[in-house]
Amino acid sequence: DVLIRDHPKDDKYTAAHLEKATTLYNQLQRYEEGAQTLLNFVALIPDSPNSPDYLYRAARIYELGGYLTKAAETWERIINEYPNSDQAYQGLFQAGVVYYRQALYVKAQVTFQRLSLLALTSEEKAAASMWIGKCLDKQGNTADARDYYSQASAADPTGYYGIRGSQLVNDQLPFPQVNSIDLSVDLSADKRIADQWMITNFKLDSAVDLTSLDALTAYPKFLCGQEYTKLGLRDSARTEFDALREELISDPLNTYRLLGYLVDHKYYQTAIFTSRQVLDQAGLSQDQTLTNAPKYFNHIRFGVFFREIVVSAANENSFDPLLIFSIIRQESLFEPKISSSADARGLMQILPIVGQEIANNFGWPPDFKSSDLNRPLINVRLGANYLKKWSNYFNGNIPAALSSYNAGIGATIPWEELSAGDVDLFVEMIRYEQTREYIRAIAENYEIYKSIYTHP
């Protein structure tokens, strides 16, 4: 207060408003005063580059305090007063969600229709269309709602909102399970087809040896990676191979050769990026990588590595194995000994303290040690068991179970309560951007896995 009142030219003047607002709402639960502190700053310095962000934060504080009308009005101000700001589109989207929460479905519909006109990306278009459909459904206009769901699906078929649009057309909840999966993969046979595709697509000499590593030995990073591999120093080897992949960004032939080596030596994480790099070099879009590329590349990018372990753990917990594969891909890209900055470990990225909790409740493995999380069999079985715990808690609600797996049950319960049983609203109520994106990414992974491994 003293800094704001007496030192308006101090370089901490802007930050002081945010610190005061945060203290008011977070420590003292004085939400209206916290929001007003930021609104005062915007009124005093409307041209500040911080003003759009402070409007967004003020709206969020109102929303957290339950002042929903004020929240929506403040979010709408951003696009009216700062239409070119980074927060403009998302602010209007949040206003639409708040109107939907208030059962103001016509007002919410108008807001999302405005968003549809302002959408610049396929994802934004799909999100607006899906939510227009949700608003129409609430008004009893089922036929028009389905039209908008179909528009969402068409706008971004492999993105989260497009996927949900397709599911809502069919009255499906998120993560609908399939039964007719086929996990059999013959990478050797797949590669023979991919070899011919490489020759044709990149206009290579038909006599070229696509498997020879001789050309790669000219690169010191490859030689270092090979030596680290022999020594069992896989993290160091992976670093060298990652750097080599980037060095080969304009060399599809040697990128493809490197890909074969990485798969043979089970460097799956780097192989996934390398596989996509070849498809990028071929000029394929995201959709085209799934429809126009040989199976070899997608059997690597969306692999069923550690298949026996994953299938067993999935069956034990009544999950679709493709869901567990989708989670592992998002968590670790199938790197069994990887650790996060928070010390989450292994294929399903389990914190040691959580691993101990799961092992205690599960009664397995005996004499659990943190290092056990680097073992795929233990990691996947514990991870699937932990996910099942939260799935049971939320009566089979997979988004809520994934939220609990990622952000913790303490964070998830209030979000689930605010959503009042609406699974789509639940995802929007998640306060942690990382957790929202985590659920959306796994949903996208899951649909791609089903497209590759499901047969009519």
Q: 321-338: per-residue pLDDT in tens?
A: 999 999 999 999 999 999
Question: Residue 345 — φ and ψ, nearest 5°?
Answer: -130, 150
The CA dihedral of 393, 414, 417, 329, to the nearest 10 degrees, is: -50
Best CA proximity match to 242, nearest among 264, 262, 215: 262
The pLDDT value recorded for residue 237 is 98
DSSP state of 172: P
The pLDDT value recorded for residue 152 is 98
Token pair 């006599």 in the structure block, residue: 207
Spatial CB neighbours of 406, under 8 Å, sequence gap ≥ 6: 434, 435, 438, 439
Q: Residue 141: is its pLDDT beyond 70?
A: yes
For residue 117, give Cα distances in angstroms to 110, 112, 281. 11, 9, 34
Question: The whole model's pTM is what?
Answer: 0.95
Model confidence at 179, pLDDT cuts 50, 70, 90, reads confident
Model confidence at 195, pLDDT cuts 50, 70, 90, reads very high
Omega of the bond leading into 294 within 30 degrees of 0 (cis): no
Query: Per the structure block, which two tokens stand in for 44?
Result: 């005093």
User: Helix or strand or coil: residue 287?
Assistant: helix
What's the CA gap between 305 and 295, in Å, rounded? 15
pLDDT more than 70, % of the chain: 100
The stretch 77-98 carries a mean pLDDT of 97
Q: Residue 165: is its pLDDT beyond 70?
A: yes
CA of residue 353 relative to chain centroid, distance: 24
pLDDT more than 90, % of the chain: 98
Model confidence at 178, pLDDT cuts 50, 70, 90, reads confident
| 262-320 residue pLDDT tens | 999 999 999 999 999 999 999 999 889 999 999 999 999 999 999 999 999 999 999 99
The pLDDT value recorded for residue 316 is 98
Best CA proximity match to 184, nearest among 70, 67, 304: 304
Q: Residue 456: is its pLDDT beyond 80?
A: no
Mean residue pLDDT across the chain? 97
The stretch 96-107 carries a mean pLDDT of 98
The stretch 347-373 carries a mean pLDDT of 97
What's the CA gap between 338 and 413, in Å, rounded? 29
Model confidence at 83, pLDDT cuts 50, 70, 90, reads very high
Q: Quickly list DSSP for 72-86.
A: HHHHHHHHHH-TTST
The pLDDT value recorded for residue 455 is 76
